[in-house]
A and B are shown apart, each in its own frame.
Chain A
Amino acid sequence: MSKLGQVVESVETYNQFVLDQVKRARSDEKFGRDLLGRWNDIKAKIPTTRAPTGLPLPRLALPEIDEPGEIARFLLGEGLPGEFPFLNGAYREMYLEPVREVESFEKDGETKKSKTDKKIPQAEEPTRLFSGLMLAEDTNERFHYLTRHQRTHRLSTAFDGPTLYGIDSDADGVFGKIGEGGVAIDTVEDMVRLYDGFDLGSANFSASMTISGPAPIIMAMYIAAAKRRFGPSVVPKLRGTIQADIFKEVQAQNETIFPIEPSLRFLTDMVEFTTREMPRWYPISISGYHIGEAGSTPVQQAAYTLSNGFAYAEMFAARGIPVDQFGPRLSFFLDCGLDVEYIALARVSRRIWAIGMRDVFGAGPKAQLYKLHTQTSGRSLIAAEFKNNLTRTAAELILAYMNATNSCHSNSADEPFTTPSEEWIRLAAHGQAILLEESGIFKHTMNMLSGSPGMKAVERAVEAAILEEFREIERLGGVLAAVEDRYQRSQIQNASHRYEQQINDGVRPIIGLNRYRNGSDDMPEVKLARTPRKKQQLQVERLAKFKKKNADKSKRALDKLAAAVESGKNCFPELLEAVEVCSLGQITGRLQEVVGRFRPMV
């Protein structure tokens, strides 16, 4: 049985354990009494806070139960926020504003500014902004614009097509794609320009890079760029995330450049390095987002993301990296659309991950956490009457925060057309601020919307469906075998086809498209961010200069890299050397000579 089969068993065993404990709480008087005592204790310790209107509210909402069996079902089956199995949240408190104390409202209910400044530790600001356009200096400028009012600088970077496919800006036929949809990065010099002016070693800075196929090379460039600016001592201080999710590329997004096995080997080489040398770095973001965007059902998205995660865990453990070292450095990324499953998709995922990591991989508490970044669904946004996309995104944001996501990105309404423009990016960010800061839905009480009968019904149905998917993958021989067999890929394509068919047939209502259509087919005026030809030309010239300057050195570095790859040892140190003098495309090309190219699955 593969680890995934064991995960299924562990979840079933755990569910049975919860049922047994519920029974025991009802039959074993002492056990029941203890539970009730603990429950009352928990309730007594919950602070009271106040809405701006003066309404008193508990800081943590709990189900109204006082019977030991139900208490056991809640505490063990769901867990308090921040407690195993983490159904209600990875942390005790999230999104909450500082407690407003009772005294603040004493005189005629008028708010006095005081006493509320006691900082409640919050994980971090949950808002993320995604950007990447044209050349490195243009994206850099955008980064500075976006972060000018923020205390912490969390930069999420999108790369252009050539970079995502590991080829250079001077490659045949890519002119026109340079700097489109993301930033063009060919060399370590571009990487230096990209984050210029930001303090990469600061605790208030983190970089997130959305790239998978050539991730180890880009990671090496980032490290090299940081060293150029701050010296070698900056390396252990670097914070951030690189996507590096090969499985989802093969299953959904099609940005794979090496065959699966060497891709996974390069990834593991990188993870081994970062786990040891960069303890604050997240070397992989296990992503369901692109699976969802490619058209999967929500259950498929959650199931493939989790099973991919367990497969990575198995792989890293096999390399000899301790689970309590790599486990806390894994993070997840989910799509949040409008289907009903999204009411509880991430909640259920968090619970399955915790149980599997603890009971199958022997992970400690920090390695059990399913740390989640959510993005609202780009696929749900459409071009027709595109301003409706604001409403779609708003509804998705509520769903995402109901699932206690650790961070969230809200899409811009103009996303169906182009890389979002400044106006719509600002509105998207404000959407989150309105929800979290202006509205009272999430800022006063933890668990405000958790645990409704409907949510529980969705949880049960979604968990059962995810486990069934796991069983199917297990029958196919585990995740890698199923991937090579195109199982997930064909399931996703099938779901996507059905979705389009439903829209076409009108059984899936899309407002403004197949229902309440305006009649006019006019495309709204959207200011497009296109990379001018002159800039593209500049990138090509810079690259030529870099290649010329390093012509001799690059050949030696590539030979050394190729030899390291052939030898089978961890080749990340050689990659770190190579990026100093070689371009992305030079490195990719040489590696492909050694390990081959990815053969597309259709």
Chain B
Amino acid sequence: MASPIRILTAVPICDGHDSAINTINLEFIRHGIEVVYLGYHRSVGDIVRAAIQEDVRAIGISSYNGGHIEFFAEVVALLREKGAADIKVFGGGGGTITHEDAAMMRRKGVDEIFFAGTSLDEMVKFVHQRYGKPRAKRARAKSSDIELAHKLTEIEDKKKIRNSKFGIRNSCKTRVIGFTGPGGAGKTTLIDELVLRFLNKDRQSRVAILSHDPSVIGEGALLGDRATMINSQNDRVFMRSMATRGQAGGLSPATHDCLALLARSGFDYVIIETVGTGQEAMPFQKNGIVDQTVLVMNPDYGSRLQLQKIVMLDLADIVVVNKSDLQRARTAHTEIEQRLEQNRRAQCLIDTVAKRHRDSGVDKLFGLISTSDKSKRGKERKSHEQARTGR
């Protein structure tokens, strides 16, 4: 079976009209399309960067606040400038885009503009017909980010199986950190806050993020993490969103190979985020897949007994109780602390409020994962392995 079509959707800068695009996104994923949703109020630079990193076939822009002629044209022009002209642009804006505007926009390189009254079916059909054909042989990439993005696509679409060829081991400077935990615990927000700290720590380091969202059974996927990540839209951050494409356990069939590639690509930090996981999940158990694992918990996990069943509580290096401003958080901290004591290893427990600007808990977590102290890291890994063999 052919791989799903990947597209990116967004609403332009200074425009908060996301009602139409939300409806369209849902229709797309119901019809087998993987949609990377970037959200509203997004600049040309953010849109083009994301489209390149995600290596989508096309960008769909929903514009209701005017200025569409300039905006669409700038997206097309910037794609060309960056050497990503194979990423196409389409969109709509209800009645705000006239036929004359649309004609001008097409002349400037936009594939299609949908007018008011276009049915959802027509849009789905358009995407399938226009962007569903296999890609032609791709030209040599103009930048390292484009090259990386293309390779990730090849791995994900199983054109090249790299599993056997590459161990995951990264260059010594790259640090791979895995984030997992139940859905809604705040993993994405936490990662985005950590990215802000990575970026502020020095002026050169680069971060890669490999983020996962579930595929609808047999259909598309809404890859929406970028929409809430305000700090990670940055040239020093390379982010890739992956759909699980039928695999259970929080990751995609191609995750391991994609991660191996990212770990060899010169980033200082590689962050991998699983989908929201269940109690039995242990997504990072493949040998050496990450240096450090962080389990992000919500204070609302149910009864104390539930904690005994969460496998990751045995395996994680760091356990974070996010949303620690909730009433239940103190109880949660105490109960999880006791649960971790059974393991008799140096696991850290941290309380955070990721939604809060400059949260001290997030600062503390950042201190733990950004440390370059190799001896400490080695020890951590050792204890990690011991814990594993102990099971």
Contact = CB atoms under 8 A, between A and B. Distances in A.
Interface of A: 160-162, 164-165, 167, 172-178, 180-181, 253-255, 259, 262, 294-295, 382-384, 386, 416-419, 484, 493, 496-497, 500, 504, 513, 521, 523, 526, 528, 530, 595-602
A174 B14 contact: yes
B228 A181 contact: no
Q: Indicate the member of A165, A416, A599 with the most B CB atoms within 10 Å.
A: A599
A254 B18 contact: yes
Contact of B95 (A165, A416, A598): A416
B80 interface: no
Contact of A383 (B15, B66, B116, B119): B116
B70 A175 contact: yes
Interface stretch (B40-48, B254-262, B274-282): B40-48
B303 interface: no
20 contacts: A161-B15, A165-B13, A165-B41, A172-B44, A176-B71, A177-B13, A177-B65, A177-B66, A178-B67, A180-B67, A254-B40, A254-B41, A295-B19, A382-B117, A384-B116, A493-B19, A496-B22, A523-B99, A528-B98, A602-B224
Contact of B37 (A416, A523, A599, A602): A602
B246 interface: no
A161 B96 contact: no
B116 A176 contact: no
B140 interface: no
A177 B98 contact: no
A253 B13 contact: no
Interface of A is mostly: loop
Contact of A161 (B66, B189, B224): B66
Interface in B342-386: 355-358
B23 interface: yes
B22 A497 contact: yes
Shortest 7 CB-CB contacts between residues of A and residues of B: A161-B14, A596-B357, A254-B16, A176-B70, A383-B95, A180-B66, A416-B95
Q: Indicate the member of A177, A382, A386 with the most B CB atoms within 10 Å.
A: A177
Given A295-B19, A382-B95, A599-B230, A173 B43 contact: yes
Nearest to B196: A596
Given A167-B14, A181-B66, A384-B116, A602 B227 contact: yes
Contact of A600 (B44, B69, B227): B227
B39 A602 contact: yes
A504 B119 contact: yes
A379 to B, nearest CB: 9
A418 B96 CA distance: 6
Interface in B6-62: 12-19, 22-23, 26, 37, 39-41, 43-45
A600 B40 contact: yes
Contacts of B119: 504
A15 B97 CA distance: 50
A259 B19 contact: no
B74 interface: yes
B131 interface: no
A392 to B, nearest CB: 14
A387 to B, nearest CB: 13
Contacts of A173: 13, 43-45, 71, 74
B19 A294 contact: yes
A521 B115 CA distance: 9
Nearest to A379: B19
A346 B17 CA distance: 26
Contacts of B355: 259, 484, 599
Interface in B90-129: 94-96, 98-99, 115-117, 119-120
Contacts of B70: 175-177
Contacts of B18: 254, 602
Interface in B117-154: 117, 119-120
A558 to B, nearest CB: 18
B307 to A, nearest CB: 24
Given A418-B66, A599-B230, A600-B39, 8 more contacts: A161-B67, A164-B14, A173-B71, A174-B67, A253-B16, A383-B117, A600-B230, A601-B228
